[in-house]
């Protein structure tokens, strides 16, 4: 077995899913807003999303999920947060 085959094999040993949320930045946040303003607008909603996600993963569709990665994308006055989750493959 080559190294590439091992990577594919390990990748396929998991079920994957994702979840997303949208955080409104509000009209006071513009394209010219400093990073500190954006951080201030998202810290509480992002923390709340993280708490809800952490609380739900143990029971979501049988549980045993873990966060693999996340991504944030700004679209106008919104921040879209997507989270990739995985768990060992279930039969």
User: Following DSSP, what letter does each residue of 21-63 receive, concatenated?
Assistant: EEEE--TT--TT--HHHHHHHHHHHHHHHHHHHHHHTTTGGGS
The H or E element that residue 8 is part of is helix 3-11
Is the confidence at residue 85, as pLDDT, over 90? Answer: yes
Is the confidence at residue 6, as pLDDT, over 60? Answer: no
pLDDT of residue 8: 44
> Can you give the pTM of this predicted structure?
0.75
- What mean pLDDT is reported for the chain? 83
Confidence grade of residue 10 (pLDDT, cut at 50, 70, 90): low
| Residue 29 and residue 77 in contact, taking contact as beta carbons nearer than 8 Å | yes
């Amino acid at each position: 077995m080559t190294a590439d085959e091992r990577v594919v094999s390990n990748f396929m040993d998991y079920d994957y899913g994702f979840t997303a949320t949208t955080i409104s930045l509000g009209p006071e946040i513009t394209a010219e807003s400093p990073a500190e303003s954006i951080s201030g607008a998202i810290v509480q909603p992002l923390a709340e999303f993280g708490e809800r996600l952490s609380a739900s993963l143990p029971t979501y569709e049988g549980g045993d999920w873990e966060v693999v990665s996340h991504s944030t994308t700004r679209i106008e006055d919104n921040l879209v947060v997507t989270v990739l989750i995985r768990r060992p493959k279930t039969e």
